[in-house]
Amino acid sequence: MRIRWFLFGVTMPLMSLAAPWDGYNDPKRFGDGYEFRFEALPLKGEIESKDLPWSEIYWPRKYGSINLRWNGTPRVGIGYSSPTKDEVLKMSQEELRKLSPTEKYDLYRGRYDYPLKNLISRVDSSARAPDWSGICDGWTVAAIQFREPRPVTRVNPDGVMIPFASSDIKGLLSYTAARQPLDSIVVGRYCPVGLSLGLPNCRDINPGTYHVILANEIGIRKTSFPGEVDPGKEMWNQPIIGYEFTVLGSAAGAGGSRALRIHSTLHYVEELEWPQWEPVTGTSSWASGKQESDYILELDSEGRITGGTWLTKYSHPDLFWRPTRKVEFKGEFDRLGELYESIEI
């Protein structure tokens, strides 16, 4: 399509902008009953405060994932020994508070052989892991599906009172969400680690798809969902919670088609800098971030969005996704539900 831009009354040079979405980016894959007409879609949206996902660290693999003893000194997650049964029976509450989420969960089950801690040591813990490698995908899903947990104390089979922080339980929820097959729907495409940008499998979410999903899911339905917001080889999953669109210019094309230049601000929940004993929702510790993007939207003769082109190369999401199943407390985590008590909002 050849068009002439009109931006605040200034005529811009002719350019070609045809970029319809492909099968990987069809918004109908993400949700049913979407509105596609640009004029019918809200330019701003946010989820309700009662539904805000919680912040939490992404439990980096280089720190031992949820084997991290975050509440003591030294803070260790790799290569340490856990207390024996006899040692546990003599430990104070203050000493028990300093154990890792996995140690506490194993002890709650009376498992002094620490099966969950040892499993994570083998498969999800490496001092040489990249800085960004962790369970942000599981945190994102858990933060959307579960209200933030409160700290609890539970008695194990030997009468030991095991104290769990809010972050201990959030770590356990995040890990089980990350390791369950949740049959996720994905729009856009991941750029595999080690591949350069620009390859066919590194083409990110189409901006038309981005616009339609945000306006329908957040603007109309007020529903949070996961987004992978880094367009490069790293993966940073965040719960999406809001957006604002600003129309910067418009242009007419052939056959009644039209194009719009859009500036977008995407809002999402951020990770914590460090785990916390108490819940963080509604406090200054809860963290959010934003990403600003510019793109061109393609509209057909009836004003329906059909695709688009990114103008900001490195400031837009890689993809949007969401699971089709709920996280279940089963297998190694079959007793996690006994620890989960949500805060009231």
pLDDT of residue 191: 58
pLDDT of residue 199: 52
Cα separation, 329 vs 342, whole angstroms: 15
> Is 14 in contact with 200 (CB distance < 8 Å)?
no
* Beta pairing, strands 319-322 & 225-228: antiparallel
Confidence of residue 214 (pLDDT cuts 50, 70, 90): very high
Residue 232 has pLDDT above 80, yes or no: no
> Is 241 in contact with 303 (CB distance < 8 Å)?
no
Confidence of residue 254 (pLDDT cuts 50, 70, 90): low
- The number of C-alpha atoms within 13 Å of 219 and in the hemisphere containing its C-beta is 20
Confidence of residue 263 (pLDDT cuts 50, 70, 90): very high
Confidence of residue 194 (pLDDT cuts 50, 70, 90): very low
pLDDT of residue 192: 57
The burial class, CB within 10 Å (0-12 / 13-18 / 19+), for 202 is middle
Cα separation, 281 vs 6, whole angstroms: 44
Q: Please write the tens of the pLDDT for every residue from 72-103.
A: 888 999 999 999 999 999 999 999 999 999 99
Cα separation, 176 vs 247, whole angstroms: 42
| pLDDT > 90 fraction of the chain, expressed in percent and rounded | 80
Residue 54 has pLDDT above 70, yes or no: yes
Average pLDDT over every residue of 279-286 = 96
Is the omega angle on the peptide bond into residue 200 within 30 degrees of 0, that is, cis? Answer: no
DSSP 3-state of 65: helix
pLDDT of residue 196: 45
Residue 211 has pLDDT above 70, yes or no: yes
> Is 61 in contact with 124 (CB distance < 8 Å)?
yes
pLDDT of residue 3: 43
Average pLDDT over every residue of 308-335 = 92
Of 220 and 197, the one with more pLDDT: 220
Task: Of 158, 164, 161, give the one whose Cα is nearest residue 93.
Answer: 161
Q: Please write the tens of the pLDDT for every residue from 125-174.
A: 999 999 999 999 999 999 999 999 999 999 999 999 999 999 999 999 99
Could you count the other beta carbons within 10 Å of the beta carbon of residue 258? 17
Residue 14 has pLDDT above 50, yes or no: no
Mean pLDDT score across all residues of the chain:
90
- Total-model pTM: 0.91
Q: What DSSP designation does 149 have?
A: B
Confidence of residue 216 (pLDDT cuts 50, 70, 90): very high
- Amino acid residing at 273: E
Q: Which of 19-23, 151-155, 199-203 is the least confident region?
A: 199-203
Q: Give backbone dihedrals phi and psi of 86, rounded to 5 degrees, phi first.
A: -60, -40
Q: Which of 126-130, 201-205, 265-269 is the least confident region?
A: 201-205
**Which residue bears the tokens 């995040």?**
174
